[in-house]
Structure formats: structure tokens, C-alpha cells
Amino acid sequence: MFKGIAAVFVGACSFGILSTFVKLAYAEGFTLGDITGAQVFFGLLILWGIVLLRQLLRGKSNSSSLKEKLQLVAMGTSTGLVSIFYYKCVQTVPASIAILLLMQFTWMSLIMDAILKRKLPTVAQMGMVALVLLGTSLAGRLFSDQLPSFDWQGIVFGLLAALCYTFFLTINGAAGNHMHPATKSALLLTGACILVFSIFPPAFLVNGALGHGLLKWGLVLAVFGTVVPPLFYAYGIPRTGLGLSAILSTAELPVAVLMSRLVLHEEVWPVQWLGVALILTAIVLSNLSSIRKSRRKAVAATGEV
């Protein structure tokens, strides 16, 4: 189980450092189209390389239908939108605030689930939403005497990224669950690549940007944003359970805030750390029941009292 915990934790930390790398890439003069395009392009090459290598070594191909593969490609467009909106948000607001906006998917997912199931959220779930919103307000310094001057367009893009991530989480389990994680991730990223290149034609492939520093950022963002998280989550989540994995995945938030402070030297007030702590507490409390259920099932399966 320790290996599973470590895998999920590493996957979450991998997501958490993305905003800092994107800020650094912007500082070198690269555009939103350059950054998102390079990430999905190199991520696609790496993931399909893993798929082909696995097929060569094992001598068997995936048995999924063409319809299911096309469904995954279509679903992958939502991840492309997440990258575009999130990186646009990072372009205009501090990285420590951008990750807070993305984390709003926690309550958006709750509302989405309530709409789909036509069932009102429980009191505990509403309490979780209240804690997340309070934590976000504190982390955004909305109650301080000196209100930060954020770009409101950036805030809108951050919330759109959270909404698209909510859609992705909602539909992600609808197809390809029997596939190898690398194959499923490659198909999803194919859809993301098609969407990104439709909006931002890949001029970076021919205009010399790769030779002027974009290559390194494209590879870094591809590895930490599109390769490590899905593969490590696929390995770790079945071994730790969804409840514990959800808690471990919140490492993304403090890692992003810490990186913004240490690497980008963004100002992070103590009240902002309090807000981060409230958000993490809300997510932990919301998943405690699922952890208890998993433990009861494990005990029942082993016949222990």
C-alpha cells in the first residue's frame, strides 16, 4: 500500500508544480499557444511511444472498439480546454491564486453530481462547500485590508478551467476503463492535441521557438502534466482506494503555493496558508466516510472482527 500512496502523492505533486513552470516559460517570452501546444505535442509523442513499446514487448494490441477509442478522443477535448483556460489564468494572476481557482472543481463536481442524480447535496456536503469557499476567500486575501488587484479576466479563466475539469472528471469513467492507463491517456491526449492545434496552429514546430528554449518547457510540462500524473494515479489509486487517493491528491494545492513562493518569489501571507489549510480540511473530511467504508470492506473480506 505504501507504493500506492507514494505514487498518488508524486502524481499530485507533479500537477502542483505546473503553474510555476508555466510562469517561467511566459517570462522567457513564449505565448499561450506555444506552451499549451508544446505540452500536448510532446506528451502525445511520449505516451504513444509508451503504448507502441508496450505492444512490441508484449506482442498484443488493444481490443477496444473504434467507437470507444473515438469517444475517448472526444472526451480528451475537455482536458485541452483545462490547459488553455488554466494557463491563460496563470498568465494574468499569481500562480498561488491560479491553483486556488482550479481547486473550485471540488464544489463544482458536487453540484454537477447533484444535477445528474437529481438529488440535493447532504448537509455534510454543503458544509464542505462552505469550507472550500471560505478557504478560497482567505487564500485570496479577500478579507484583508489590502485587497489584491487581480485581473478579473484571469479569475474567469481560472473558474472556466475548474468547470472544464469538472466535466472531465464526470465523463472520464464513461469509457476505456478496461484499457491500459497509457493507452487511455494517449487517446485522451489525442483529443486535447486536436483541440489545442485547432485553436493555436503549431507554428512553434517551424518558427524556431523549440531551439530557443521552448523544447525544454514542452518536455517538462509534458512529463509532469500529461505523463506522470495519469500513469502514477492509475498505479496508485487501485492500491489506496478512492477516498485516500482524493486526500493525497490535495498535495497539489500546497505544492503549487509553496513553489510560487520559493521559485517565483510571490508574496504568500499567513492568512493564505490558513485558507489552504481550510480547503484541505474540507476535502479530507468529505472523504473520511469512503475511507471507513473501504476499511470495513477490507476487514469483512479477511474475516477479521
Q: What is the pLDDT of residues 82-113, one digit of tens each?
A: 999 999 999 988 888 888 888 888 788 878 87
Q: What is the pLDDT of residue 207?
A: 92
**For 208, left (φ over 0), alpha (ψ -120 to 50), or beta?**
left
**122 DSSP assignment:** P
What is the average pLDDT across 258-266? 88
pLDDT of residue 53 exceeding 60: yes
pLDDT of residue 226 exceeding 50: yes
pLDDT of residue 20 exceeding 90: yes
- Helix extents (H) in 173-241: 181-199, 214-222, 228-240
What is the average pLDDT across 35-52? 95
Please list, in sequence order, all residues whose beta carbon lies within 8 angstroms of the beta carbon of residue 87, skipping any fewer than 6 positions away: 22, 32, 35, 36
Q: What is the pLDDT of residue 230?
A: 84
Task: Return the closest-CA partner of residue 192 out of 36, 48, 77.
Answer: 77
Q: What is the pLDDT of residue 67?
A: 84
What is the average pLDDT across 203-230? 93
| pLDDT, the chain, mean | 84
Yes or no: say if 196 and 40 are a contact pair by the CB < 8 Å rule: yes
**Considering only 25-34, 97-106, 161-170, 284-293, which range has the smallest mean pLDDT?**
284-293
Distance CA 127, CA 73 (A): 36
Task: Return the closest-CA partner of residue 102 out of 237, 265, 257.
Answer: 257
**227 DSSP assignment:** I
**Considering only 5-14, 101-110, 123-132, 280-289, which range has the smallest mean pLDDT?**
280-289
**Considering only 2-11, 183-192, 221-230, which range has the smallest mean pLDDT?**
2-11
Single pTM value for the model: 0.85
More confident residue, 127 or 241: 127
Identity of the highest mean pLDDT range in 51-65, 135-149, 231-245, 270-284: 270-284
The pLDDT confidence band at residue 305, using thresholds 50, 70 and 90, is: very low
